[in-house]
Structures are given as structure tokens and as C-alpha cells.
């Protein structure tokens, strides 16, 4: 290649000169234009700054009736105007707030903190935000959460909502990424004027978006965030999804109950999934604590579909028990391929496999799979029966999944906390900022009878769940439907 | 206005960061090298900032993280990326066109697998609780906007310095440039390294901005996204990537807000929200088909300057001249 | 490593690699004609699987616009496979007409077709999700009637099992490879295609209707994508709208490794990466995804145009 350059030296020489000369001409020509654009950019930036500065200086002049620590700028919800008169003084007192940190030039506020929700609450439904992954790679989980939340909306509104006021769920799709979660949360908090948020789907997204909600003093309930450290993000962050540490050991006990002679154990987990990664740690510790022989730890990715290698590597260890931590699609495939390739022993599936979606993946080969559950459709409580009934109207015979139940529970906790708050002091009289703060306190103080069983929260926001379950999958002869049979 | 900044503060800064990332891809493209490695350096910069701010520069909880430390992290992130870029770039830049692009994708994937496996990066969960230098997301504009201005000015100036002309000469005709005494390897590695430094610096800021950092940052999808920024914006001057990055980042959110304001019939509003990525994909196709030179095309300039300069034939965009894929 | 585990790893590699290979075949076909990477191929692959699923009478799940709907009839699997793949081929043709041809007509930057095909991929993926949700779909378990779940290539005492579905995929990839090679090298159609690939302008001057042949190439590529999507889907279930996308990146590595545009190269590349992954020691399994790319990186440094790629003399 280089030799060509030598032989053609002269000609290329000319080409390049021409090209470069042409370039120069263009540069000259566009210099003015480009400088113009840069000037425009600079002016734009300055305008932005000026604008922000103006707002910041304008704030001290805003009505200062009831200074609160939550910073805010007076705005009214659109559509609230007609009711504002009726709401009277309370609306005004709610609307007035001051910025406590005026030092920063841009309006650094807790969004919509001073919105006069009084009017909105007086007549319209109470907005609760649902920010989960409706699209993107984890949409499978997010869509189950949407279904659970929708069922909850209808269920509780049919029962009279919050002491007669209906609730209204506002959905904002977070997609599967961190930036999407922040955008969705910002939109819910500032434009949706929600009293609280159920979401996001993934722990990684929670680490990104929850601090934003916390700083805005908006209560958040994580429906499926199981990683360590979620409730510790802030005072306003709690979750209804139990961390894996407490769920997993039960399943190993159950397996030992079925086959007391278990010795060798192989553990597999999805290394790119935060949930599975935390869960497998617990499983591995438990295996060792029980004196079992952990012969091999193998990894896969949630994007994988072909597990030929992991399966044959597993089988070559001649295990008595295989433990799989993954999500429905990849975990189910792994189970199927293990069985296809001749593995006969027990298999424990992690909490991520606790969904009826797994039936479609491993089909008849799901039979006998032991699942660690934070929610069991078989749980025999009154609330769960009602929940199952409501779900049946929505999706027929498909048993409700843990994600359905957890999203439902998230909405339920909001509704019941709003109810008990309203019983203490009328929420229609509160400013949105006050309501959010009071609601957060109320959530953490309450005790709830949910489809997950009886739950409450630690002061930090961690869930106290009374009961965990272990189930074994029983497939029907058609090979596509089945049930989770409760065993522990 | 306040609600606007609160709602869109994150988006506005995201747009600036996207513009910067687009520039980081544009720099090697200036020298005719299609490198998709930017997300790898972005991830590296982010990890450096995340580790430094959570383990090394520990401040008391509750308080704001000092801005100078953020700047220091950005500097370290940028430098580390630059060094890695030289190590990777020297062997990789012997490849051309799509082969180089693929080698850089391989680089991204390897970085991602390492991030999932190393202890210090926190595996799949990543690093969280990254301290915040500001109280709200919009205030990140105080770092992001000057950074964008500096980088944009730098690229603008670069386009007319000796080095920049060398880049362009290589892009136009590598053999000829070589024959003229422009060392292609040195200049290509230089352009690649500059892009990496920008990406690493942005990553360091991005880690604070996103509150958390994990192996999902800086993936292959992101690199194709940046390429779309550059090509939709126009790969002809630095303004193209800047505008392309901003516009494409804002698009899904604009669709979201259009669906929310209630002006549309409800079915259309629903579709704009739930189907906004369908529309995004559709617009991406429309954009390339109807504006093959990007928003900021030579024709745009031509129209504006026709009155004074007379008719000038617009040069083809860089890759149009066949440097692109390099297939027979 | 004893003989059994060596043979097992070898067969595992072929099994894993055959999935990569079957994915890459349609991918590389378009590249060899147009010299562009068609990101939308992964989406067509996914669509093909969904088409076949619908044609065998499978019902849609509970999410999406078409919730709980199903076709009023159900075709046998083999027929559905062919029809579904034809539909996928037609989608590929539509993609060519709407997203590629206008760019070619404007002599636009070849990189732009990357973006435009990416747009198509995003569009199709999200459209699938909008219509039928993100749930996994699986073919009836009796798809391969008469075949056991796995075939033992070893002895009963030291079994070397491979899943039957994977054996089918391997067989089909080899058959497609042979047929494609024959078509391209020995038929009138193939010769015309090669002429278009070599130099579209000259080919059209010689009276070859280039647009028509490019259209046919897209159809063939989409058809192969549909076959591949269905077969892989029948082996591992259709994992949702991102089913094909997850193969896209490794598929790209495969065709580059084999040499862009080389059809035997796509199969060779797939098998090399499959084997590299399967011989990776179990202790290092967490680095498996890096293996394909590490191999790619190294091969590119040694052979900058891939394993079977033609070395190109740069013309000035």
C-alpha cells in the first residue's frame, strides 16, 4: 500500500494541494458564519444565565406567607383555577414559599413545591406517579408492574379511593436506562405534581433517580429494587421489595427437605443483573453455611439465550442441586437446557424467576423447579384472594406475578397512608410540599395488609415483610401453563 | 419558568453532554477515522470519578461536594483516557474504515466485561451514592456549558491550525498526505486521543450528574447513538455534532411532553408517549434520507453566503468521499 | 482435559457457533452486495420469529395493542417457517426501498446507511413491543416431533449431549451455506449479483437491472433472517422484541472476523467464536462475552481484513 504512494507521488501531491486549497477557501467563507454561530451560542448562554438570575432575584418578592424549608416558586396547577376560589386561604398559604438558598443563580427548587394542590385535590383525583420501564430491555418486568398498578387503581377507586376522593395514576416510561428514569421522575414530580412515586424498575435506575426525588422531598416506593443500599439513599426512599438476603435461604431449606442427601451444589447467576448478583452472594453463603459442597460458580448474562456450555459444565460436576439466579427469560432457558441435556436433580430458581412468564420459556421442563418467593399466588389470605380476583379480570388464568403484586402493593401503601393521613388532618387543605412530607412520615409509620402479606417499614424505609414463601412449579400436561405450589 | 428548569434541568445538561460526546466522536472523524471507542473512555472517566469521590475525596455526608474536586476528577478522567487511548490507538489505528470501527467496538465490549467483573467497579450494581456538587441537576450547567464552549472553540480553532489541516488532509487522502510529509499514524493517534480525552472528561462529570455509575454506561448502543448525533447533525463542521447531539437527546423527551400537555387527542398522546421510540426510529430514517448531509450541511452555508461569495460548489461530506467503509 | 470433555467442548462450540453463523449469513449477504452493515437485520431476524409464531396459531400475550389476539388458523411448523420467512423477506425489501435506496440514489455517505438502518431497527423493535408486548413467546414443545430433547454423541456412561434443536440449526446453516455458495457462484442470478457487488455502475451499463438484483439480495437476506430467527426462537424461545438485537453485536463480530462479505467466512467466523467461547475454562466464564471481541481484536491486528477476507490493494 505504501509503495503505491511512492509511485504515484506526483499525482497525489496535486490532488492534496487542490483539496487543501479548496478547504481553505471554505474556511474563509465560513469563518464569519461560524463566528456568528458561536456568538449566538454565547448570547444564548448569557440569556439563560440572565433569565435564571432574574428568577432568583424575583423570588424574595414572591408572597411570603408561610415560609417553609422546602424551597419553591409559586405556581398553580393548570385547571386548578376554578377551584382555587373555593379552596380559599389554604390555597394561598400553600402557594407561598420562599427559597432558602437564593445563593445559586438558577432557580434551585424543589419542583412545584408550592403548587396549590388544594384546588386540585378538592375536586379532582389524587395523582400518584408510576415510573417504571414500559419500554426497553427490561420492559418485561415493567409491563407486569404497569398491570399490577392499573389493577390497583381500579381496585381502590372502586372501594372509594381515599375517603371518597379517587386516585389517578400517572404513568411515565423510564425505559431501561438511568437517564430515562431521571427524566420520567422529573416529569412526574414537576409536571404530574404527584404525591408520590412507585418506581423505578431496576436498582441501578433507583440509584440514579431516587436521589432526585429525595431532594425534591417526594416519597418513593421501589417496587422491584432489591439491591443493598436502596432505602439508605434518603429519607423519602422506601421499598416494598424485600432484599434478597432474607428470601434465598428458605429455598435451600426446602430443597434439603425434599432431598436430605444433597452434597454437591453448582451455582449460576446473571452477572449483568444487579438483583441476581446480590442474590447469588446470599445463596453461596447459605450453601457454605449448611455445610454443602459448592463445586462450581458459573456466570451468564441476561442477554444470553444459549446455555449449552454452562449446562454441560454444570452437569460435568455431577451436582445434586443447581441454583440459578437470573431473570425469567435467561433463567428459564437455562433450566430448560439443563433438563434437555439430562440433568435430573433439584433446581432452585431465584426470585427473578418468580413469574408465570417462566412457564413459556422452560415449558414442561419447568416442572419441579423450586422458587424463592417474596410473593406467592398461593398465599391464603383475604387480601391476596381479592388481588387475585382483580388480576383475573385483567389477564385471565395467568397467575399474578411478584412484580404484579409488588406494584399493586406500592399503590396500596400510598392509598392507605393517604387515607390515614386524611383522617388525621384533611389532605385537601395541605400544600403539595407539606402533603408529600406528611405522606412520607405516614407511609413509614403504617402497617399494611397487602397481597405480599402483612408489611411495615423500618424508619429507614426498608420493608418488614412478615412472610416469605417457597414454591415448586407444577406444570399442567399442556406444557404451557402451570402453578406455583406452595411448599414452605 | 422554575417548573421548566426543574423538569428539564436534567435534560438540558444531558443535551450539552451529548453534544460533547458527539464532538469526541467527531474529532477522530476529522482525521477520517471512524472510531466508536468514545463510550469506553466515557465509562472509564465515570468510574474514575465515581471511585475517587466515594472512596478517596471523602467529604462529610449531607454537605455539597466541592466543585474543584469535580474539576480535578474530570482532569484525571481525561488524562487517564488519553493515556489509554494512546495504548489502544497505536495498534488499532492501523485498521481502516469499518474494521477500525469494529476494533473500537471490541474495545468497548472488553471495557464493559471488565467493569462487570472487577471488584472496584462494583459489578452489575455499580457505584452509587456519588456525592453531589450541586443541589439540583440544572446547576451542572455551570460546568457543562463552559466545557462545551471550550471544546467547541478548541475544535473550531483546530480546524484551522497546522494539526487540524493535517487531520483533514488525512481524511481527504491518506496516501497523499503521507507523501506530503504528514505522518498519518501520529496524527490519527492524536485525533483519537483528543476524542478520548473529551469523552473521559465528560464521563467524570457524568458520574456525578447521574448519581450512580455502572457497567450499563458506555455500551455499544451508546456508541451508535453518538454516531447518529454526528451524522444527523452533519459531519462537515463541529456545529453538526453539537446540534445533532442536542436535538436527538431532546427528541424523546419532547415527544413525551407533547403527549402530556393535553393538546392532542388522547390516542395520539398515548402513542406519542408509549410509542415515542417508534417515532424516534422513524425520524432517524427520515432524517438520514432527506438530509443526508445532516442539519448543518454545506448547502445551508452556501445559501447564506451566496449573495457575497457567489456560487461555490459545496464539497462532499468527509465520508462521502469513500473513506467510510473502504470496500471495493 | 479428557477425551469426553474435549469432544463435549468441541461440539458445544459448534452448537454455539452455529447460532452465530445462521444469524450472520443473511447479514453478510447484504454486506457483500452493498458494502453496508444493515443493523436492521437483527430486527428482521426477530420479526421472522414472530411471524412464524403467529402463523402456527400462537396467541399474543396480555400487553400491547394486539393483546390476546391470535390468527384464526394455525399452520404446521414447516409451512409457517417458510411463509414467515417470506414475510420477513418482504419486510427487508420494504426496508431497502424506504431506507437504503434513497440514500444510494443521493450517493450519500455509506456511514449514513448505518444510522438509517439503526433507525429502522429501533422502529421495528419498539413497534413489536407496542403491538405484542415484551413477553417471551415459545413455539409448541412438539415443534420437532419425533426428536428427543437432546442427542447423545457419547456413550451412555460418558454422555456428550447436544440439544436436538441446536443440531437442526447446525444442519440448516450448513445447508444454507452450500445453497448460497452454489447460487452465488454458479447461477445467472449469482453472477449478476457478483457483478453488482463488484461495480454497480458498470453492471448497469451492461444491462443488469441493479436495483432489481439489490432488491432480490435484500429479500434473500430477510428470508434467511426469518429462517434463522424462527429456528433460534424454536431452540431458545423468542425472548421478546430485543431477541435479535442481542445477537446483533456478536453477529457483527462474526462477519468481520470471517471477512466482511465472505459467505463461508460468516460460518467460519461463527464457529471460531463459538469454539473460543466453549473452550474457555469454566472458572473464567464471567469473561466469556469478552472472548469474541478479544479474538476479533487480535485477528484484526494480524489480518486486518478478517480470516477469509480478500486483501485489498488500495487504489489511488
Taking an 8 Å cut-off on Cβ atoms, the answer to whether A332 and C237 are in contact is yes
Q: What is the pLDDT of residues C155-194, one digit of tens each?
A: 888 889 999 988 999 999 899 989 998 988 899 888 888 8
C290 to chain B: which residues are within 8 Å by CB? 109-110, 113-114
- Pairing type for strands A197-198 and A220-222 reads parallel
List of residues 6+ apart from B156 with CB closer than 8 A: A34, A38, B238
Q: Point out the residue among A73, A135, A178 whose CB comes nearest to the CB of B210.
A: A178
Report the Cα C226 to chain-centroid distance in Å: 8
- Looking at the complex, report in whole angstroms how far the Cα of residue C115 sits from the nearest Cα belonging to chain B: 6
Nearest-by-CA chain A residue for C15 = A308
Provide the pLDDT for residue C240: 87
Q: Point out the residue among B141, B173, B216 whose CB comes nearest to the CB of A16.
A: B173
Provide the pLDDT for residue A165: 92
pLDDT per residue, tens digit, chain B (328 aa), is: 778 888 899 999 999 999 999 999 999 999 989 899 999 999 999 999 999 999 998 877 778 899 999 999 999 999 999 999 999 999 999 888 778 888 998 999 999 999 999 989 988 889 999 999 999 999 999 999 999 999 999 999 998 899 999 998 998 888 899 898 889 999 999 999 999 999 999 999 999 999 999 998 888 888 888 988 998 898 888 999 999 999 999 998 888 888 776 667 777 877 877 788 898 899 889 988 888 888 887 777 666 655 444 444 444 444 443 333 333 3
Q: Point out the residue among C118, C124, C300 whose CB comes nearest to the CB of B95.
A: C300
- Checking if the pLDDT of A48 tops 80, the result is no
Which residue in C134, C246, A129 sits closest to B277, CA to CA?
Answer: C134
Nearest-by-CA chain C residue for B112 = C290
Taking an 8 Å cut-off on Cβ atoms, the answer to whether B288 and C126 are in contact is no
Which secondary-structure segment (H or E) carries C8? helix C3-34
- Looking at the complex, report in whole angstroms how far the Cα of residue A152 sits from the nearest Cα belonging to chain B: 20
- Looking at the complex, report in whole angstroms how far the Cα of residue B202 sits from the nearest Cα belonging to chain C: 23
Burial zone of B195 (CB within 10 Å; 0-12 exposed, 13-18 middle, 19+ buried): buried
List of residues 6+ apart from A316 with CB closer than 8 A: C5, C8
Region at B120 (left for phi over 0; alpha for psi -120 to 50; beta for the rest): alpha
- Looking at the complex, report in whole angstroms how far the Cα of residue C60 sits from the nearest Cα belonging to chain A: 12
Which secondary-structure segment (H or E) carries C71? none
- Looking at the complex, report in whole angstroms how far the Cα of residue B44 sits from the nearest Cα belonging to chain C: 17
- A306-to-A393, B140, C287 alpha-carbon distances in Å: 36, 43, 16
C127 to chain B: which residues are within 8 Å by CB? 275, 278
Q: What is the pTM of this model?
A: 0.84
Q: What is the pLDDT of residues B51-75, one digit of tens each?
A: 999 999 887 777 889 999 999 999 9
Q: How many CB atoms lie within 10 A of CB B29?
A: 25
Q: Which of B124, B210, B306 to mutate to test the interface with A (most CBs of A within 10 A)?
A: B124
Taking an 8 Å cut-off on Cβ atoms, the answer to whether C136 and A363 are in contact is no
Per-position b or e across C191-210, b if 16+ CB within 10 A of its CB: ebbebbbeebeebeeeebeb
Q: What CA–CA distance (Å, rounded) separates C274 from C223?
A: 24
Provide the pLDDT for residue C140: 81
Burial zone of A425 (CB within 10 Å; 0-12 exposed, 13-18 middle, 19+ buried): exposed
Nearest-by-CA chain C residue for B273 = C130
Q: Point out the residue among B175, B227, B228 whose CB comes nearest to the CB of C316.
A: B175
- A42-to-B26, B312, C300 alpha-carbon distances in Å: 21, 29, 44
Q: What is the pLDDT of residues A237-285, one digit of tens each?
A: 999 998 866 777 889 999 999 999 999 999 999 998 888 888 899 899 9
Q: How many CB atoms lie within 10 A of CB A50?
A: 11
Which residue in A475, A456, A476 sits closest to A467, CA to CA?
Answer: A456
Sign of CA dihedral B239, B245, B248, B249: negative
Provide the pLDDT for residue C58: 86
Taking an 8 Å cut-off on Cβ atoms, the answer to whether B320 and C109 are in contact is yes
Q: Point out the residue among A313, A329, A365 whose CB comes nearest to the CB of C240.
A: A329
Taking an 8 Å cut-off on Cβ atoms, the answer to whether A108 and B301 are in contact is no
- Pairing type for strands C161-163 and A293-300 reads unpaired
C118 to chain B: which residues are within 8 Å by CB? 224, 228, 284
Taking an 8 Å cut-off on Cβ atoms, the answer to whether C312 and B227 are in contact is no
Q: What CA–CA distance (Å, rounded) separates C126 from C40?
A: 13
Q: How many CB atoms lie within 10 A of CB A163?
A: 14
B128 to chain A: which residues are within 8 Å by CB? 207, 229, 233
Q: What is the pLDDT of residues B205-262, one digit of tens each?
A: 999 999 999 998 888 888 888 988 998 898 888 999 999 999 999 998 888 888 776 6
- Please say whether the beta carbons of B113 and C285 come within 8 A: no
Which residue in C127, C45, A449, C90 sits closest to B278, CA to CA?
Answer: C127
Helix (H, G, I), strand (E, B) or coil at C211: helix
B276 to chain A: which residues are within 8 Å by CB? 173
Q: What CA–CA distance (Å, rounded) separates A117 from A80?
A: 8
DSSP B31: T
Q: Which of A4, A309, A325, A328 to mutate to test the interface with C (most CBs of C within 10 A)?
A: A309
B123 to chain C: which residues are within 8 Å by CB? none
Q: How many CB atoms lie within 10 A of CB A44?
A: 11
- Please say whether the beta carbons of A352 and A275 come within 8 A: yes
| Chains near B (3 or more Cβ pairs under 8 Å) | A, C
B98 to chain C: which residues are within 8 Å by CB? 37, 256, 260
Q: Is the minimum CB–CB distance between B325 and chain C shorter than 8 Å?
A: yes
- Please say whether the beta carbons of C199 and C34 come within 8 A: no
Q: What CA–CA distance (Å, rounded) separates B258 from B248?
A: 16
Q: Is the minimum CB–CB distance between C130 and chain B shorter than 8 Å?
A: yes
Q: What CA–CA distance (Å, rounded) separates A144 from A356?
A: 11
- Please say whether the beta carbons of B169 and B176 come within 8 A: yes
Taking an 8 Å cut-off on Cβ atoms, the answer to whether A135 and C129 are in contact is yes
Which range in A56-60, A93-97, C257-261 is most confidently predicted, on average pLDDT? C257-261
Provide the pLDDT for residue A4: 36
In this complex, how many residue pairs, one in chain A and one in chain B, have their CB atoms less than 8 Å apart? 204
List of residues 6+ apart from B151 with CB closer than 8 A: B20, B23, B198
Q: And the C-alpha cell for A180?
A: 430515562
Q: What is the pLDDT of residues A316-347, one digit of tens each?
A: 999 999 999 998 889 999 999 999 999 999 99
Q: What CA–CA distance (Å, rounded) separates B180 from A6?
A: 11
**pLDDT, average across residues C30-36:** 84
Q: How many CB atoms lie within 10 A of CB B20?
A: 26
Q: What CA–CA distance (Å, rounded) separates B223 from B225?
A: 5
**pLDDT, average across residues C267-274:** 91
Q: What CA–CA distance (Å, rounded) separates A221 from A139?
A: 19
Taking an 8 Å cut-off on Cβ atoms, the answer to whether A271 and C129 are in contact is no
Q: Point out the residue among A16, A51, A271 whose CB comes nearest to the CB of B176.
A: A16
When computed from its CA atoms, the radius of gyration of chain B, rounded to whole angstroms, is: 20
Q: Is the minimum CB–CB distance between C135 and chain A shorter than 8 Å?
A: yes
| Chains near C (3 or more Cβ pairs under 8 Å) | A, B
Q: Which of B136, B181, B295 to mutate to test the interface with A (most CBs of A within 10 A)?
A: B136
Nearest-by-CA chain B residue for A213 = B136
Strand residues in A353-411 grouped as ranges (E) = 370-373
Taking an 8 Å cut-off on Cβ atoms, the answer to whether C289 and B109 are in contact is yes
- Pairing type for strands A197-198 and A126-130 reads parallel
Q: How many CB atoms lie within 10 A of CB A86?
A: 11
C307 to chain B: which residues are within 8 Å by CB? none
* Residues counted in chain B: 328
Taking an 8 Å cut-off on Cβ atoms, the answer to whether C294 and B325 are in contact is no
Which residue in C299, B177, B7 sits closest to A111, CA to CA?
Answer: B7
**pLDDT, average across residues A17-30:** 43
Q: What CA–CA distance (Å, rounded) separates B270 from C280?
A: 48
Strand residues in A77-219 grouped as ranges (E) = 126-130, 167-171, 197-198
Q: Is the minimum CB–CB distance between A363 and chain C shorter than 8 Å?
A: yes
Q: Point out the residue among A9, A75, A270 whose CB comes nearest to the CB of B3.
A: A75
Q: And the C-alpha cell for A183?
A: 427524566
When computed from its CA atoms, the radius of gyration of chain C, rounded to whole angstroms, is: 20
Q: And the C-alpha cell for A416?
A: 392507605
Nearest-by-CA chain B residue for A1 = B175
Q: Is the minimum CB–CB distance between C16 and chain A shorter than 8 Å?
A: yes
Q: How many CA atoms lie within 13 A of B308 on its CB side?
A: 8
- A50-to-A106, A110, B13, B137 alpha-carbon distances in Å: 9, 21, 17, 18
| Helix/strand number for chain B, H first, E second | 13, 0
Q: What is the pLDDT of residues A102-142, one digit of tens each?
A: 333 333 333 333 344 444 455 689 999 999 999 887 888 89
Which residue in A418, A438, A427, A440 sits closest to A120, CA to CA?
Answer: A427
Distance in angstroms between the alpha carbons of the first and the last residue of chain A? 72
DSSP string of A283-311, one letter each residue: HHHHHHHTT-EEEEEEEE-TT----HHHH
- Looking at the complex, report in whole angstroms how far the Cα of residue A217 sits from the nearest Cα belonging to chain C: 33
Sign of CA dihedral C139, C143, C144, C148: positive
Q: Is the minimum CB–CB distance between B284 and chain C shorter than 8 Å?
A: yes
List of residues 6+ apart from B54 with CB closer than 8 A: B127, B129, B130, B131
- Looking at the complex, report in whole angstroms how far the Cα of residue A484 sits from the nearest Cα belonging to chain B: 29
Helix (H, G, I), strand (E, B) or coil at C294: helix
Q: Is the minimum CB–CB distance between C99 and chain B shorter than 8 Å?
A: yes
Amino acid at each position: 500500500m505504501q509503495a503505491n504512494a511512492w509511485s504515484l507521488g506526483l499525482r497525489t501531491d496535486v490532488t492534496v494541494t487542490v483539496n487543501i486549497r479548496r478547504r481553505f477557501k471554505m474556511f474563509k467563507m465560513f469563518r464569519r458564519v461560524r463566528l456568528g454561530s458561536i456568538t449566538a451560542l454565547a448570547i444564548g448562554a448569557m440569556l439563560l444565565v440572565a433569565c435564571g438570575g432574574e428568577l432568583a432575584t424575583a423570588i424574595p418578592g414572591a408572597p411570603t406567607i408561610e415560609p417553609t424549608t422546602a424551597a419553591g416558586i409559586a405556581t398553580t396547577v393548570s385547571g386548578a383555577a376554578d377551584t382555587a376560589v373555593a379552596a380559599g386561604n389554604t390555597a394561598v398559604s400553600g402557594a407561598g414559599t420562599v427559597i432558602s438558598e437564593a445563593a445559586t443563580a438558577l432557580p434551585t427548587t424543589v419542583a412545584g413545591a408550592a403548587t396549590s394542590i388544594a384546588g386540585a385535590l378538592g375536586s379532582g383525583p389524587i395523582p400518584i406517579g408510576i415510573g417504571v420501564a414500559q419500554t426497553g430491555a427490561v420492559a418485561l418486568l415493567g409491563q407486569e408492574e404497569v398491570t399490577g398498578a392499573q389493577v390497583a387503581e381500579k381496585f381502590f377507586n372502586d372501594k372509594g379511593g381515599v375517603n371518597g376522593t379517587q386516585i389517578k395514576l400517572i404513568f411515565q416510561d423510564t425505559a431501561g436506562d438511568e437517564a430515562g428514569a431521571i427524566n420520567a421522575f422529573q416529569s412526574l414530580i414537576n409536571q404530574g405534581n404527584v404525591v408520590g412515586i412507585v418506581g423505578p424498575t431496576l436498582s441501578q435506575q433507583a440509584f440514579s433517580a431516587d436521589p432526585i426525588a429525595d431532594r425534591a422531598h417526594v416519597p418513593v416506593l421501589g417496587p422491584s429494587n432489591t439491591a443493598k443500599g436502596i432505602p439508605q439513599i434518603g429519607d423519602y426512599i422506601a421499598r416494598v421489595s424485600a432484599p434478597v438476603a432474607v428470601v434465598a435461604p428458605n429455598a435451600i431449606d426446602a430443597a434439603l427437605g425434599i432431598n436430605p442427601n444433597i452434597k454437591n451444589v453448582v451455582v449460576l447467576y446473571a452477572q449483568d443483573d444487579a438483583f441476581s448478583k446480590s442474590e447469588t452472594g446470599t445463596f453461596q453463603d447459605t450453601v457454605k453455611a449448611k455445610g454443602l459442597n459448592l463445586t462450581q460458580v458459573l456466570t451468564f448474562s441476561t442477554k444470553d439465550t444459549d446455555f449449552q456450555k454452562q449446562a454441560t459444565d454444570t452437569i460435568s460436576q455431577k451436582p445434586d442441586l443447581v441454583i440459578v439466579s437470573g431473570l425469567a427469560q435467561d433463567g428459564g432457558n437455562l433450566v430448560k437446557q439443563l433438563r434437555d441435556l439430562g440433568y435430573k436433580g433439584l433446581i432452585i430458581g431465584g426470585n427473578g424467576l418468580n413469574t408465570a412468564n417462566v412457564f413459556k420459556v422452560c415449558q414442561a421442563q419447568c416442572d419441579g423447579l423450586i422458587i424463592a418467593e417474596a410473593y406467592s399466588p398461593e398465599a391464603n389470605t383475604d387480601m391476596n384472594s381479592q388481588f387475585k380476583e382483580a388480576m383475573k379480570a385483567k389477564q385471565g388464568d395467568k397467575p399474578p406475578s411478584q412484580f404484579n403484586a409488588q406494584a399493586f402493593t406500592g399503590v396500596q401503601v400510598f392509598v392507605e397512608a393517604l387515607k390515614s393521613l386524611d383522617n388525621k388532618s384533611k389532605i385537601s387543605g395541605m400544600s403539595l410540599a407539606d402533603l408529600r412530607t406528611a405522606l412520607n412520615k405516614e407511609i413509614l409509620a403504617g402497617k399494611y395488609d397487602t397481597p405480599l402479606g402483612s408489611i411495615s417499614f423500618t424508619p429507614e424505609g426498608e420493608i418488614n415483610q412478615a412472610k416469605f414463601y417457597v414454591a415448586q412449579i407444577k406444570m399442567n400436561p399442556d406444557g404451557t401453563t402451570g402453578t406455583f405450589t406452595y411448599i414452605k | 419558568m422554575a417548573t421548566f428548569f426543574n423538569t428539564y434541568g436534567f435534560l438540558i445538561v444531558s443535551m450539552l453532554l451529548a453534544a460533547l460526546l458527539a464532538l469526541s466522536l467527531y474529532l477522530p472523524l476529522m482525521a477520517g477515522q471512524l472510531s466508536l471507542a468514545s463510550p469506553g473512555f466515557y465509562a472509564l472517566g465515570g468510574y474514575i470519578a465515581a471511585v475517587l469521590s466515594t472512596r478517596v475525596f471523602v467529604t462529610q455526608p449531607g454537605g455539597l461536594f466541592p466543585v474543584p474536586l469535580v474539576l480535578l476528577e474530570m482532569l484525571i478522567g481525561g488524562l487517564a483516557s488519553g493515556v489509554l487511548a494512546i495504548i489502544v490507538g497505536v495498534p488499532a489505528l492501523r485498521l481502516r474504515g469499518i474494521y477500525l470501527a469494529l476494533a473500537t467496538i471490541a474495545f468497548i465490549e472488553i471495557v464493559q466485561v471488565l467493569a462487570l467483573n472487577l471488584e472496584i467497579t462494583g459489578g452489575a450494581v455499580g457505584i452509587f451514592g456519588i456525592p453531589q456538587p450541586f443541589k439540583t441537576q440544572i446547576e451542572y450547567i455551570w460546568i457543562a456549558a463552559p466545557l462545551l464552549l471550550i471544546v467547541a472553540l478548541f475544535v473550531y480553532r483546530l480546524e484551522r491550525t497546522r494539526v487540524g489541516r493535517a487531520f483533514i488532509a488525512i481524511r481527504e487522502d491518506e496516501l497523499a498526505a503521507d507523501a506530503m510529509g504528514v505522518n498519518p499514524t501520529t496524527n490519527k493517534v492524536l485525533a483519537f486521543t483528543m476524542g478520548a480525552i473529551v469523552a473521559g472528561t465528560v464521563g467524570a462529570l457524568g458520574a456525578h450528574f447521574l448519581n450512580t455509575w455502572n457497567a450499563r454506561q458506555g455500551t455499544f448502543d451508546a456508541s451508535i447513538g453518538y454516531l447518529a448525533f454526528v451524522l444527523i447533525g452533519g459531519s462537515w463542521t463541529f456545529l453538526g455534532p453539537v446540534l445533532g447531539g442536542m436535538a436527538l437527546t431532546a427528541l424523546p423527551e419532547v415527544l413525551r411532553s407533547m403527549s402530556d400537555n393535553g393538546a392532542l387527542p388522547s390516542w395520539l398522546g398515548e402513542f406519542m408517549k408509549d410509542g415515542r421510540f417508534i417515532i424516534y426510529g422513524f425520524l432517524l430514517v427520515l432524517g438520514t434520507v432527506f438530509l443526508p448531509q445532516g442539519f448543518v450541511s454545506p448547502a445551508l452555508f452556501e445559501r447564506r453566503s451566496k449573495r457575497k461569495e457567489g456560487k461555490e460548489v459545496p464539497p462532499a461530506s468527509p465520508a462521502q468521499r469513500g473513506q467510510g467503509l473502504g470496500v471495493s | 482435559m479428557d477425551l469426553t470433555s474435549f469432544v463435549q467442548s468441541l461440539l458445544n462450540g459448534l452448537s454455539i457457533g452455529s447460532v452465530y453463523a445462521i444469524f450472520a449469513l443473511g447479514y453478510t449477504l447484504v454486506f457483500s452486495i452493498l458494502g453496508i452493515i444493515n443493523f436492521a437485520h437483527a430486527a428482521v431476524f426477530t420479526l421472522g420469529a414472530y411471524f412464524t409464531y403467529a402463523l402456527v396459531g400462537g396467541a399474543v400475550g396480555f400487553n400491547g395493542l394486539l393483546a390476546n389476539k391470535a390468527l384464526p388458523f394455525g399452520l404446521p411448523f414447516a409451512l409457517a417457517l417458510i411463509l414467515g420467512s417470506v414475510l420477513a423477506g418482504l419486510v427487508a425489501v420494504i426496508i431497502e426501498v424506504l431506507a437504503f435506496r434513497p440514500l444510494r440514489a443521493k450517493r450519500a455517505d455509506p456511514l449514513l446507511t448505518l444510522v438509517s438502518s439503526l433507525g429502522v431497527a429501533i422502529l421495528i423493535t419498539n413497534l413489536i413491543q407496542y403491538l405484542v408486548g415484551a413477553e417471551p413467546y415459545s413455539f409448541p414443545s412438539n415443534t420437532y416431533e419425533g426428536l428427543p430433547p437432546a442427542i447423545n454423541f457419547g456413550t451412555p456412561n460418558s454422555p456428550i449431549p447436544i440439544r436436538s434443536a441446536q443440531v437442526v440449526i447446525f444442519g440448516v446453516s450448513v445447508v444454507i451455506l452450500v445453497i448460497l455458495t452454489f447460487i452465488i457462484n454458479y447461477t445467472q442470478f449469482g453472477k449478476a449479483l457478483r457483478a453488482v457487488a463488484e461495480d454497480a455502475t458498470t453492471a448497469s451499463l451492461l444491462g443488469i437491472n441493479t436495483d432489481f438484483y439489490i432488491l432480490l439480495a435484500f429479500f434473500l437476506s430477510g428470508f434467511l433472517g426469518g429462517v434463522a430467527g424462527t429456528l433460534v426462537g424454536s431452540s431458545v424461545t423468542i425472548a421478546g422484541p430485543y431477541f435479535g438485537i442481542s445477537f446483533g453485536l456478536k453477529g457483527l463480530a462474526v462477519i468481520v472476523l470471517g471477512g466482511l462479505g465472505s459467505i463461508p467466512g460468516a460460518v467460519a467466523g461463527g464457529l471460531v467464536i463459538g469454539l473460543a467461547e466453549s473452550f474457555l475454562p469454566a472458572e473464567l466464564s464471567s469473561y466469556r462475552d469478552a472472548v469474541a471481541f478479544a479474538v476479533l481484536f487480535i485477528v484484526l491486528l494480524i489480518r486486518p481484513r478478517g480470516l477469509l477476507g480478500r486483501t485489498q490493494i488500495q487504489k489511488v
